[in-house]
Amino acid sequence: MTEGVQERRAEPGPRYEVFHTDCLAREMVDHVTSRWGVWVLISLRHNSLRFYELRESIQGISEKMLAQTLRTLVQDGLLWREVEPTTPPQVTYGLTEFGRDVGEPLSELFDRITRRLSAGDAG
């Protein structure tokens, strides 16, 4: 009898094993935790914002990077996008229910860090 690692066949359908490079969830985690994805989700945690309001709230982001990040997060189902047919068009973004679920721990992390830094300043 031979002992050792047993081969496991991949089952059809999406894989959600984060350490596999073909994991669909891993790609979304990469989008959420990208340099700007985190800040977009945190910026939208309390209310929806127009494109220019987001750009002003996230210092250091270019228009191009904001547009790319927003497009990706909308495609992932984390954000909704509404275009008002005005001249020029006004585009508003907000968190979907899924986006709120994903963004909540990021907001909590941010809040904990800022509280800790504030406490360190006082002490």
Q: Is the pLDDT of residue 13 over 70?
A: no
Q: So what's the pLDDT on residue 5?
A: 41
Beta bridge partners of 90: 84
Give the percent of the chain with pLDDT over 70: 85
CB 73 within 8 A of CB 43: no
Taking CA atoms, 3 is separated from 7, 10, 55, 64, 86, in Å, by 12, 21, 59, 55, 70
Q: What is the mean pLDDT of the chain?
A: 86
**pLDDT score, position 10:** 46
62-113: pLDDT as tens digits: 999 999 999 999 999 999 999 999 999 999 999 999 999 999 999 999 999 9
pLDDT recorded at residue 102 = 95
pLDDT at 22: 79
* Mean pLDDT value across residues 40-49: 96
pLDDT for 24: 80
**Cα atoms in the 13 Å half-sphere on the side-chain side of 101:** 5
The DSSP output letter for 22 is T
Angle between helices 24-32 and 63-75 (to 10 degrees): 150
Q: What is the pLDDT of residue 104?
A: 93
Position 27 confidence tier, pLDDT thresholds 50, 70, 90:
confident
